[in-house]
Amino acid sequence: MDKIPSQTVQNSIDQICGITEEADLELASQHFFDVQPDLGGFFMEFIEDMSEEAQDLGFMMALILNKAFEDQYKKIRPMNEDEVVARFEANEAEFESFLKINDDMIADLQDKARAEGQPEVFNYIVEELFMSPELEPALGANEQIHLFIICKFLIDCLNEMAKEGAPELVRH
């Protein structure tokens, strides 16, 4: 399965962040919930108790992540609610470890993303949440970590669905 290139991620960022009309943002939002209703609902439920700034950033990141996956893989089936909950529960221990995230953990996660995941998409969430200077006053460390958890979860889910639709390599 091909990995999402950095240019696809950047194009998604540019397109979503370039939305200036409320109606266009509503269309992008509705599209996300049309193609991933249960995953999108879970994402929104996860961030509902966060500050408005964290919710806005998280939602925009979700739109960007979904767009990058759709642009690369075209048709990804939606995860159903049972799949979303089961996957989250299966990863809860890992997510709890992220509450103490540090540079070494991020480096290990980047290595894992390079080996079996989506390194450019993962790097986007790391850069956006932990290396963006304009984020510092708006979000507390706790919100950054919680957004990291849910965005990583979203990436992992979308990647799993993309793998399902990817044709296997033909060996001769």
Q: What does the pLDDT read at residue 71?
A: 95
Q: What does the pLDDT read at residue 48?
A: 95
CA distance 65 to 121: 7
pLDDT digits (tens, 9 = 90+) for 119-148: 999 999 999 998 876 655 568 879 999 999
pTM for this one?
A: 0.91
